[in-house]
Amino acid sequence: MSGTGTGFTHRLPGTGAGLPASDPNLRLVLPSGRLEVTATGSDLNTLLRLEQAEFPGVRLADLGFTGGEDFEVAAEIRGDGLIVREYQTTDAWETASWTPQTWTAPVTATQK
């Protein structure tokens, strides 16, 4: 859906500088909640074409993380929002559980 935001607010530092704000390589498919990413022929390992690299994300510090936590994230895009939940461990993944905390970000149409 052209002009629809993804909820991702940042990119991996050093990547995507050559991409427009309304990125044609990211396509949000609202009915299925999928984000389709078109490959750009970049390579993070060899630093090839990083200005075209697609590594969208969010700043974890903005969500309250300080760097001492061990976690993974599940994200779901539905309707008009992005919902993120945290799955955490305190014993190097011998056990893990969902935390009650969730984060949401609106997915809204953007101006071109």
Q: State residue 68's pLDDT score.
A: 64
Predicted pLDDT at 17: 93
Residue numbers of the chain with a pLDDT score lower than 70? 1-4, 67-73, 78-79, 108-112
Amino acid identity, position 66: T
* Residue 1: predicted pLDDT: 38
SS3 92: coil
What whole-number distance in Å separates Cα of residue 60 and Cα of residue 11?
A: 12
Q: Using only the alpha carbons of the chain, give its radius of gyration.
A: 16
> According to the model, what pLDDT value does residue 50 have?
92
Residue 58: count other Cβ atoms within 10 Å of its Cβ.
Answer: 17
Q: How would DSSP label each residue in 31-79?
A: TTTEEEE---S-BTTTTBTGGG---EE--GGGGT--S--EEEEEEEEET
